[in-house]
Amino acid sequence: MSVNAMFGRNRFKLGIFSANADGGLAITRVPERWRAGWAEIADLARLADRAGFEFFLPIARWKGFGGETNARHHSFETISFAAALSGLTEQMTLFATVHVPIVPPVFAAKALATIDQASGGRAGLNIVCGWNQPEFDMFGVTKAEAVYDQGYEWYEIFVGVLKGGDPFDYKGQYYDVKGVEGAPQSVQMPRPVMLSAAFSPPGRDFAVKTSDCLFTTFATIEDGAETIADTRERAEKVGREIDVYTTCHVVCRPSQAEAEDYYEHYAVEMADRAAVDQHMEMKKSMSFSHDPKVFRDYRKRFAGGAGTYPLIGTPERIAEELAAMHEIGFAGTTVSFVNFLDELPFFVQMVLPKLEAAGLRVAS
């Protein structure tokens, strides 16, 4: 088996995030916004795969955010999404984003083993303990008070299944399961590569104890450096090492003015304000996925890309910002666009060579 792309040679790794959902990460009314039709997703996946992107990461969403567009109402389920893409791609890691309270660990283990076998060791698990209770209500489950305590139990059962061997019982506070077994095992051992999406201190602790990578947000480069230092300290305390990935939305244009004008157009003038308000309110009250100052100071980033970091400008400027992110220690980032398929080719053509020239990536 070849090495999973998440452990490949590029010093700064790139992924595509949220292409399985309408709008991608944006919350905007512009007509060219991402509709997440299957044919365009398939084309995008092939393009990203050929361009050497390391991973394709879907968002786990079950309900829209209202407003005029009901942003994210349309989204593909992420385990079957990763499985479907395995036949269309050759080298990328295909993540499934799995909600701990919704998906039982025994099911997730078998599903991930299936994708890993079908893809030749390219499955990935993005474990999300979750925040959105109205979504959980659709499944009749309630988010645990100590959501990460449930996460640890989930993880132990998940890896227990993938280990193979004799059937086992597991009795914890959240799971009481008996005679657990499973085959086949995953190709990647002891389990497929794992991201954990979180921002809070308990979320970082969970990531360093269970996963290969923390997938997190940042408001400024200085804050990002602090998050990385804090996460590394937490990892050191438990004798592990972990990569820290982040997430950005991108407007890349030949001139700075063009990029900024378009950002203003889709993320301010054409923002779906009611959906942005609902998204921000829900996130503020139910999730810790962002530094509180992002809600206060960076409203535009929510319409722009669900509160992620904006990369707005020329290819030179964006390459410099990505290099700065590498410099402070991020192992990589996801990128999202208003229309992935229209905009990714320019990014690939203009930004990737600059990252290669900077020694952060090699040509694919």
Residues in contact with ligand FMN by CB under 6 A are 59-60, 97, 128-132, 197-200, 202-203, 215-217, 247, 287-289
Kindly state the smallest distance separating residue 90's Cβ from ligand FMN, in Å. Answer: 25
Q: How many CA atoms lie within 13 A of 133 on its CB side?
A: 9
Query: Which three-class secondary structure string do you get for 279-324?
Result: HHHHHHHHCCCCCHHHHHHCHHHHHHHCCCEEEEECHHHHHHHHHH
- Smaller CB separation from ligand FMN, 62 or 263: 62
Q: How many CA atoms lie within 13 A of 88 on its CB side?
A: 19
Alpha-carbon span 11 to 159, nearest angstrom: 28
Kindly state the smallest distance separating residue 266's Cβ from ligand FMN, in Å. Answer: 21
Kindly state the smallest distance separating residue 72's Cβ from ligand FMN, in Å. Answer: 10
- For ligand FMN, the nearest residue by Cβ is 203
- Smaller CB separation from ligand FMN, 45 or 60: 60
Kindly state the smallest distance separating residue 58's Cβ from ligand FMN, in Å. Answer: 7
Kindly state the smallest distance separating residue 362's Cβ from ligand FMN, in Å. Answer: 26
Kindly state the smallest distance separating residue 63's Cβ from ligand FMN, in Å. Answer: 10
Where are the extended beta strands (E) located within 78-212?
93-99, 123-128, 168-171, 176-180, 193-197
Alpha-carbon span 192 to 203, nearest angstrom: 20
Query: Residue 337: phi, psi to the nearest 5?
Result: -130, 160
Query: Residue 15: phi, psi to the nearest 5?
Result: -140, 165
- Smaller CB separation from ligand FMN, 98 or 187: 98
Helix (H, G, I), strand (E, B) or coil at 247: strand
- Smaller CB separation from ligand FMN, 102 or 159: 102
- Smaller CB separation from ligand FMN, 69 or 246: 246
- Smaller CB separation from ligand FMN, 97 or 314: 97
- Smaller CB separation from ligand FMN, 92 or 198: 198
Alpha-carbon span 54 to 48, nearest angstrom: 8
51 close to 348: Cβ distance less than 8 angstroms: yes
Where are the extended beta strands (E) located within the chain?
13-17, 55-57, 93-99, 123-128, 168-171, 176-180, 193-197, 213-215, 243-252, 309-313, 332-336
Kindly state the smallest distance separating residue 198's Cβ from ligand FMN, in Å. Answer: 3
Kindly state the smallest distance separating residue 299's Cβ from ligand FMN, in Å. Answer: 18
- Smaller CB separation from ligand FMN, 58 or 182: 58
251 close to 338: Cβ distance less than 8 angstroms: yes
